[in-house]
Amino acid sequence: MQNTQNNGSSSHTLSVYVANKPGVLARIAQVFARRGFNIDSLVVSSSMDGNFSRMTITASGESTGLYQIIEAVKKLVDVVHCVDHTGENIVVKELGLIKLAVGPAQRSEVLEIADHFKAKTVDLTERSMILMTTGDTEKLDAMIKLLKKFKIVELVRTGKVVMARGEEET
């Protein structure tokens, strides 16, 4: 998945399948840093086989360096495979939790926005609420933009997770 940013760099979403061992993440992050790529989001979770983990890395930097990064990551001992999903038919989702300081007078307007984005209320008090939403990055960005007129107390996002569609493995 590639997005071109204003400064000429691109955003790429990679999936890296690795041995579930200490230090693997640090070595992969170092490969990105040495080549001037910033890791914008990182999600790591165990695979079905607990001996391995899947990393979904969204990174931005010059496109010319991406090939070098993938090749360098592939050479690391604990890396099984590393794939750039640019142009592939994949499902990309992100989860966001948004805590708002809102009282009863504002609650119905917030709930209308939440309903439009198919968000769920996961906590509600007299003076606050927490919304949970899932979707692509643009959906979360649009919802947050509309909610900025209220007081956002906290915002937590998971970063992107990806999976290949159909029978293909990610």
Q: Which of 61, 84, 107 is the last residue of a domain?
A: 84
Mean pLDDT by 10 residues, the chain (170 residues): 52 92 95 89 91 92 83 95 87 96 96 98 97 96 97 95 88
Asked, for residue 49, whether it belongs to a domain, the answer is: yes
pLDDT at 8: 53
- Give the DSSP H or E segment for 41: strand 38-46
Q: Looking at residue 114, which CATH number applies to its domain? A: 3.30.70.1150
- Give the DSSP H or E segment for 111: helix 104-116
CA gap 137, 130 in Å, rounded = 19
Asked, for residue 109, whether it belongs to a domain, the answer is: yes
Q: Which of 84, 102, 125 is the last residue of a domain?
A: 84
Give the number of other Cβ atoms within 10 Å of residue 130's Cβ.
Answer: 18
pLDDT at 149: 96
Q: Are residues 120 and 78 in the same domain?
A: no
Q: Are residues 9 and 80 in the same domain?
A: yes
